[in-house]
Structure 1
Amino acid sequence: MSSTPLPAPPVVVVMGVAGTGKTTIGPLVARALGVPYAEGDDFHPAANVAKMASGVPLDDADRGPWLDAIGAWAHGREGLGGVVSSSALKRSYRDRLRAAAPGAVFLHLTGERELIERRMAGRKGHFMPVALLDSQFAALEPLQGDEAGVAVDVIGTPEEITDRAVAALRAAALAP
């Protein structure tokens, strides 16, 4: 009897503007796929967190070391699978992550600005102020057709969003 090896679980980067639920949905997707989760915010240097907390958006130079740290984590998980959150707003940021982890796929959490603003206003203890949401939307470059990934709307409960996300990843043959 021959057996076909199962495909390796992917490294999924949960992306989107602040307030879309990356930190909520990411661990749920990881659990559904049976892989570890890493919180992208934990990869930020203290200077980045302080800058955002003071209401100043990060620039590309600020994001470089953060993206490299996330990319290193993703690289270490290739063939093993994992889920990590990262806004990954620009194509160039996603290209940088893919350079480190070529097999990475993206789960873009999307939603109406008003819904996301309400969610951001209701969260406690997060360093990212609602005032930076406009800069996030201004920087956002949605996934392009040649990028491995799916977009999922954030309407609904975390469980509903997760179910749609995992189903979309599997339908696109991006997850076992």
Structure 2
Amino acid sequence: MKTLLEIAYDRHDIWIKTVISFGCNPSMAEDVVQELYIQLSQDLNKGIDFTFKDDVNYFYCYKVLRGLFLTICKKQRKVKKIYLEEMRSEPKQNIPPAVDEVKYAKNKDQVDNVLDKMFWYNKKVFEIVASGKSIAKLSRETGISYYSLYNTYTKAKKHIKNNV
């Protein structure tokens, strides 16, 4: 009499094809299926019944495989990849672009003119948040609702962009 894990292993090719159908490459599909067997073993130890008519519940295994595959994809997105060519070459120096001081002063004057025409509350909220203070911290300090401050800041920023 075969154990439930052995019955699941008899369907190994089906599990591989299922994982490949998710868009996985064949070598990684093998790893995902091996993780399935580990998960099924842990589930058996916990007392979880994943049988269906004296066979392995295909839907249960499908859901486990899908979850394992999505978890691996999520982890891969967080991994930062560096190409060998970049490692062998000289490190690039991050030189900030030169600031055109005349253009900067002109834009600052335009922003200041727009701010001067704004309602005092909107101007003050914009200046405080633009200086670097977070909206959440400002909300805690003043007792004003976070969303009220957020909306005021975004509306002021939009108003400035439209008028500069």
Same-fold status (TM-score > 0.5): no
Q: Which has the larger radius of gyration?
A: 2
TM-score (norm 1): 0.20
Structure with bigger strand share is: 1
TM-score, structure 2 length as denominator? 0.21
Higher relative contact order (CA 8 A, sep 6+): 1
Greater share of helix residues, 1 or 2?
2
